[in-house]
Structure 1
């Protein structure tokens, strides 16, 4: 598949099997993440691979975060909610948590450090798709909670930017649709001779 076809055919697909993903494939995805552009070559991305019982630890953090927002987390209804939350990380056999650790380089701009990591995430999603995996980039309020930052050992300046859930797809998804690029593009300047 050429790169344009990979880009156009990738979809967020959370319906995956429990089949284990070989370590070599996970490593290919991680390596792709390290080839994103970053200003001043700061490479501000950090990756955490959760498999097996590692996913249970993430579930425990999600439960702790949810409990803080509940008036009575011991109530029967809330206990059922917390059980469901604890199971969320088991929706895929592999989760790659992606975080940013902004550089100490005084020339580095914080927004650009985040942009580099978002580019890294796209590289990883496209690579996984090209290798026959389904992927889903999950975020939400708990992603940015201080307890999540603490769990992954990030600095005060660091942040978790998402969880990439990967597995072998249970289903194929229909072709996607996007606006025509012409609807969101403004050309500034005169036409060149080649455009005529």
Structure 2
């Protein structure tokens, strides 16, 4: 899919209208977990757009320190089995029956996702930058993916827990790379409620600026 963008690409929309759309997408974004997805596919064009938008994140000196790997269906199943192994000693107080149900849940969990993407830090061999700048670039890339998913009506979340980091580290990343976990994408189930979120008012987080009264208690 060939993508192009111009501030004038939507001549029928004013700049305030465009800003309102962007603001709406940002504030509607939520981490929606795989067990809240319907098992439906996404179109290849959607996945391409999500990944392309990731690469348009800010990156100092154009190092583009990210690498993405889209897991195959076999790898998604393999990750479910890996979670069972990884967490086998994490539930000592469960009854045998509950333990069986828990590991059945873990094994099937990745299969709810329409796509799972490995997030990998690939340090530049051309120039050395402070690591925090490279991590910030990757985080911005993941945010671009999350916002694109929201705009498409898809759910997503960045899994950065132990099993996600470890799976990519052991089976996907290459020399000199670092695992940053997995990014899940899926269709939010209409039968499950997704919690509304709030944020701390900027008046408590920002100095040197007095916010307009309408933004004191954002929804």
Q: Same fold (TM over 0.5)?
A: yes
Q: What is the alpha-carbon distance in structure 1 between the residues aligned to residue 52 and residue 205 of structure 2?
A: 32
2:118 aligned partner: 97
Matched, 1:62 2:83: yes
Matched, 1:167 2:186: yes
Q: What is the alpha-carbon distance in structure 2 between the residues aligned to residue 175 and residue 143 of structure 1?
A: 26
Residue pair 1:51, 1:93 contacting (<8 A) in 2 also: no
Q: What is the alpha-carbon distance in structure 2 between the residues aligned to residue 144 and residue 138 of structure 1?
A: 8
1:5 aligned partner: 24
Name whichever of 172-181 and 160-169 sits farther off: 172-181
- Tell me how large the CA RMSD over aligned residues is: 2.7
- Tell me, which stretches of 5 or more residues in structure 1 are unaligned? 189-196
2:55 aligned partner: 34
Name whichever of 49-58 and 14-23 sits farther off: 49-58
> Which structure ranks higher in relative contact order (CA pairs < 8 Å, sequence separation ≥ 6)?
1
* Structure-1-length-normalised TM-score: 0.80
Q: What is the alpha-carbon distance in structure 2 between the residues aligned to residue 82 and residue 173 of structure 1?
A: 24
1:17 aligned partner: 38
Question: 1:48: Cα distance to partner?
Answer: 1.4
Residue pair 1:35, 1:120 contacting (<8 A) in 2 also: yes
Deviations 1:25-82 (A, max 9, x none): 0110000110011111111111111243231122243344345x67x9xxx6766654
Residue pair 1:136, 1:166 contacting (<8 A) in 2 also: yes
2:7 aligned partner: none
Question: In structure 2, do the counterparts of structure 1 residues 151 and 26 end up closer, same or farther at CA, with 3 Å as the change threshold?
Answer: same
Q: What is the alpha-carbon distance in structure 2 between the residues aligned to residue 167 and residue 56 of structure 1?
A: 16
Question: In structure 2, do the counterparts of structure 1 residues 55 and 183 end up closer, same or farther at CA, with 3 Å as the change threshold?
Answer: same
Q: What is the alpha-carbon distance in structure 1 between the residues aligned to residue 125 and residue 187 of structure 2?
A: 39
1:153 aligned partner: 173
Question: 1:83: Cα distance to partner?
Answer: 4.0
Mapping 1:67-146, distance limit 5 Å? 81-145=102-166
Q: What is the alpha-carbon distance in structure 2 between the residues aligned to residue 117 and residue 95 of structure 1?
A: 16
1:47 aligned partner: 68
Residue pair 2:160, 2:181 contacting (<8 A) in 1 also: yes
